[in-house]
Amino acid sequence: MNPRHLFILQRGMISFAMTMMMTSAIVYRIDDAKLVPYQLILLGTALEIAVIFFEVPTGIVADKYSRKLSVVLGFFIIGLGFLIEVSSLKFIWIFIAQIVWGFGYTFISGALDAWISDETQNEHIEMTYIKGNSVSKWMTILGIFGALGFGIIDIRMPMIISAFIYILMSIFLIFVMKEHVILEKSTHSMIHQFKLGIKHIIKHPLLRIFVITAFLLGLFSEGIDRLEELMILDQTAKTFLSDLPTIYIVSMMHMVVAILGVIMLFIIKKNVDAGLKTYHWFFILLIFMSLGLFIFAYVDQAWIAIFGFLFFRMTRQGLDPLYTSIQAREIPSNIKATVMSTFGQIDGIGQIASGIIMTTLALFLGTKSILTVTALILLGAAYTILLLIKKHKVII
């Protein structure tokens, strides 16, 4: 199977199953398990605990042994984690489930992007990542319909279906995913492999700065990621949507965000070239994200506040392919998954710190303070991209 097509298929199935899972899981956690804001944030912290401990080791496994093996294991373990969550309404089991499927995610993170980068030798890699993200947005929309349709019957049904999609994908990839680029077999230890990745980051003029960018992008995300549905439900309670069931409102929100994401990626696809424009777009998107959060936090009129949130989510959809392509072009093949996973771990450290900060803010100052701090962190990340742009002019 053509590697680009298989990459895009995997991105699409990941989005379809993950959207069904997370759309229904939000309702499951809020309405059925009765979790409160600080518990929702702690679930995100559980995910990042898994990332902190396992992101780099699983990336090293991908570089030393097999990216295919890493991805196959990742799909299977994520499915297992989903099944654990749906098995109990108790917070502790939902918490453990996040650690399990977060562990599975670390096998895919870095390995899948490194695999397609090498299989295509970075030819039109930005367009490949953008196409993968575009297809994933359309599959997100299908996933929302799936969550809505099955969730009306039983909110756990789309969660169970998602789990089996991941498990079946792991079996499917055993037979169809090929590795035409044979990695040089290294006799070095995993610690040595990790050191090689760290040395490359330290010596690289762009990646040294990008470390700060990755940390700030992790630091900004935890509060908004865990509470955005709760915040939107608070705003829609002030509108004519207030009488709709929670699953309808959450599904509509996710669907609108997905459609806006497709539009955002189309705009970027038409305008981004390899090189400096990537950094310029990155900077613009971070500024727009911050602006959207300030509107969401400080405008009292419900519909304008919701517009600010949707503007934030739309512009955020453009970050991922740019973030990944910057790394793919600046990292050699033999340590690509290791370094990408290292950046994933740096992001995870930021999210752990964010979980602590945002939980404290939620307990003592409320959600408006979370939005304010998040927007300011994004402005800090935008400043690091300005530094990257300046540095890029020097080295090209």
Cα gap 18→162, rounded to integer Å: 7
Neighbours of 2 (CB within 10 A): 10
Q: Does some domain include residue 64? A: yes
Tell me the per-residue pLDDT of 122-159, one tens digit each, with 9 for 90 and over: 677 777 888 888 888 889 889 988 988 898 888 899 99
Q: Does some domain include residue 342? A: yes
**Structural domain that includes position 157:** 3-178+188-395
Q: Does some domain include residue 216? A: yes
CA distances from 374 to 271, 284, 371, 381, 389 (A): 28, 17, 5, 11, 23
We report the CATH number of the domain holding residue 208 as 1.20.1250.20
- The two structure tokens encoding residue 11: 């991105």
Q: How confident is the model at residue 107 (pLDDT cuts 50, 70, 90)?
A: confident
Residue type, 324: T
Tell me the per-residue pLDDT of 1-10, one tens digit each, with 9 for 90 and over: 788 899 999 9
Angle at 83 between CA 81 and CA 85, to 5 degrees: 75
274: three-class secondary structure by DSSP: coil
- The two structure tokens encoding residue 207: 């990646």
pTM to 2 decimals? 0.70
Query: What's the confidence (pLDDT) of residue 250?
Result: 77
- The two structure tokens encoding residue 85: 């969550």
In angstroms, how far is CA 134 from the centroid of its own chain?
14
Cα gap 17→43, rounded to integer Å: 19
In angstroms, how far is CA 157 from the centroid of its own chain?
24
| Mean pLDDT, rounded, of the chain | 83
Q: Whose structure tokens read 């995913």?
A: 177
Tell me the per-residue pLDDT of 185-198, one tens digit each, with 9 for 90 and over: 544 555 666 677 78
Cα gap 347→94, rounded to integer Å: 22
Cβ neighbours of residue 291 closer than 8 Å, sequence gap 6 or more: 308, 311, 312, 375
Cα gap 297→280, rounded to integer Å: 26
Query: What's the confidence (pLDDT) of residue 76?
Result: 95
- The pLDDT of 99-105, averaged and rounded, is 90
Cα gap 321→265, rounded to integer Å: 9
**Total of domains in the chain:** 1
- The pLDDT of 248-260, averaged and rounded, is 83
Query: What's the confidence (pLDDT) of residue 164?
Result: 95
H-run or E-run covering 122: none
Q: How confident is the model at residue 81 (pLDDT cuts 50, 70, 90)?
A: very high
- The two structure tokens encoding residue 340: 């990408």
pLDDT at residue 230 greater than cutoff 90: no
**Per-range mean pLDDT, top range of 15-19, 208-212, 233-237:** 15-19
Q: Which of 50-64, 184-198, 249-263, 266-280 has the lowest mean pLDDT?
A: 184-198
Query: What's the confidence (pLDDT) of residue 77?
Result: 94
Q: Does some domain include residue 183? A: no
